[in-house]
Structure 1
Amino acid sequence: MRFMTSLIVASALMAPALPAFAALSGYWDSTKILHAILGDKRLADALKQQPIERIEKTADGYEVSSQDCMVQVKVDSILPDHPGPTRHTIRIGKGHCR
């Protein structure tokens, strides 16, 4: 019985040292998506190379706007079938300019 108690205590003390396999927090997950969007050459082309003035979250992804143009960016999230981060794919829409 004493050995079993020692084993349980030792296991409980070692548990925090194990690597975490949780998904990223919402903040870090969204930064990964935004970096991917902002780093995509198609976004710059859709905005006619104009500076970005606004990024707004939508139901399907993001709306990115410059002074004269706006483009919809769709984000598809793929939940992993094992522990690890969520994967995302982005689709840059056609830019709409005035």
Structure 2
Amino acid sequence: MDNSFMVASIESAFFGVSQVLRWLPIPPLRRFLESKDRLHQYGVDAFDRYVAQYGRDSGRKDLLTKILVPKSLDEALTDFDVHTEIGNLVFAGTGRVK
């Protein structure tokens, strides 16, 4: 998970370079660069499981329901945004003190 934020920073500052690096056939480099994708995929999978189990408007009193059911259309998030937010929340919940 730590790598996903480093990758996001690299992509933000050096997008072209990061895209070229993804083409290099160096397994440790590819695994590092794909860390952000894996974290996002975790969010997609968790979101899909939640929606399959409870639906989008379950009436549950939990954080994900609050994210999925906005008070107004101006506050609505796309599914991509929700996947990203889930990944960020998982990352935040696994923080460690150094």
Larger radius of gyration: 1
Larger RCO (CA under 8 A, 6+ residues apart): 2
TM-score, shorter chain, exceeding 0.5:
no
| TM-score of the pair, normalised by structure 2 | 0.29
Compare the two structures and name the one with the higher helix fraction: 2
